[in-house]
């Protein structure tokens, strides 16, 4: 290889690296410089789906003991079963989100075959989401501003007729949370209609801690998502883990801002410059 060719290759490589760095720098800068209140290094939201009875039979009591507010994504029919408990949760300052009217999911879940997303239309979905909000308002006196996708699924229809219902969520709610994600939310980048939700069910504190510490390196927002709040069982966020987590989050030296999804979403939106 001639010297001239070597020089050209080195020069060309340097130009490519410079282009790449300049392209990703704004993205990196957005999260690294995002300022949480009071110099906190990470935002953390606890969220729980389905208005399971255990949430108001033991879960909210534990959170209230530590003054921590969570987001509960409910359907109205489940709220009716423990109406007093849910009214108390609202009075304690917990956020109530919408988790649909009938919890439609893919018909591959046999329990969802009679309300399968594959058979839904966007119109039916929108109507039911509005109805759910109206019913929740009638039951609890609050109108949900956040939504959690049942089963984390964001589509209606099938094949070439499949449609995303994310745009409906973006138009009706200030935020929408999905499910079983691996990455936290980057406040400078995240689509608020598809916030990620990291599972808290079945995990010990030792499994949750690295998720938080990793997110802290880049000032990210972790939204944990669970179901039952109990000592053990299927789809259960264990109260023992939760107690350690809220104690850790409340300790100022850990620099964590723990707040409901809606509170953090509003804070980010108020600070974000339009993209
Ligand atoms: Zn659900």
pLDDT for 10 equals 54
CA of residue 150 to ligand 1 center, whole Å:
5
For residue 52, the CA-to-ligand 1 centroid distance in Å is 9
CB 220 within 8 A of CB 185: yes
pLDDT in tens, 96-137: 999 999 999 999 999 999 999 999 999 999 999 999 999 999
In tens, the pLDDT along 40-70 reads 999 999 999 999 999 999 999 999 999 999 9
Q: Which single residue is written with the structure tokens 């669970």? A: 226
Residue 255 Cα to ligand 1 middle (Å): 31
What is this structure's pTM? 0.88
CA of 51 relative to ligand 1 center, distance in Å: 9
Residue 82: count of CB within 10 angstroms of its CB: 18
**d(CA 49, ligand 1 centre) in Å:** 5
Tokens of 52: 């399971």
Give yes or no for residue 4 having a pLDDT over 80.
no
**Residues 6+ away with beta carbon under 8 Å from 264:** 43, 45, 221, 257
CA of 85 to the centre of ligand 1 (A): 19
User: What's the CA-to-centroid distance between 163 and ligand 1, angstroms?
Assistant: 20
**Would you state the CATH architecture of domain 41-272?**
Alpha-Beta Barrel (3.20)
Whole-number Å distance, alpha carbon 97 to ligand 1 midpoint, is: 12
Q: Residues 171-188: pLDDT tens digits? A: 999 999 999 998 999 999
Mean residue pLDDT of the chain comes to 91
What per-residue confidence (pLDDT) applies to 20?
Answer: 45
pLDDT at 242: 98
Q: Is 103 left (phi over 0), alpha (psi -120 to 50) or beta?
A: left
The per-residue pLDDT for 12 is: 53
**CA–centroid distance, residue 101 to ligand 1 (Å):** 11
The DSSP bridge pattern shows strands 163-164 and 155-156 to be antiparallel
């Amino acid at each position: 290889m001639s010297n001239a060719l070597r020089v050209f290759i080195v020069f060309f490589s340097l130009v490519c690296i410079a282009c790449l760095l300049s392209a990703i720098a704004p993205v990196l800068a957005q999260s690294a410089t995002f300022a949480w209140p009071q110099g906190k290094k990470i935002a953390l939201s606890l969220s729980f789906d389905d208005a399971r009875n255990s949430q108001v039979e033991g879960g909210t009591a534990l959170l209230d003991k530590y003054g921590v507010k969570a987001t509960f994504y409910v359907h109205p029919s489940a709220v009716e079963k423990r109406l007093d408990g849910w009214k108390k949760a609202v009075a304690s300052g917990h956020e109530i989100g919408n988790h649909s009217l009938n919890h439609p999911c893919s018909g591959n879940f046999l329990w969802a075959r009679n309300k399968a997303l594959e058979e839904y239309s966007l119109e039916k979905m929108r109507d039911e989401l509005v109805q759910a909000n109206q019913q929740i308002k009638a039951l609890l006196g609050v109108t949900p501003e956040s939504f959690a996708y049942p089963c984390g699924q964001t589509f209606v229809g099938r094949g070439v007729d499949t449609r995303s219902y994310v745009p409906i969520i973006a138009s009706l709610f200030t935020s929408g949370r999905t499910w079983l994600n691996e990455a936290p939310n980057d406040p400078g980048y995240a689509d608020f209609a598809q916030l990620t939700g990291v599972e808290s069910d079945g995990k010990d504190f030792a499994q949750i801690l690295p998720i938080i510490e990793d997110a802290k390196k880049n000032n990210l927002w972790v939204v944990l998502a669970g179901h039952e709040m109990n000592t053990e069982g299927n789809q259960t966020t264990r109260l023992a883990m939760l107690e350690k987590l809220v104690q850790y989050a409340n300790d100022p030296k850990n620099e964590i801002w723990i707040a409901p999804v809606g509170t953090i979403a509003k804070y980010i939106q108020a600070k974000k410059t339009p993209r």
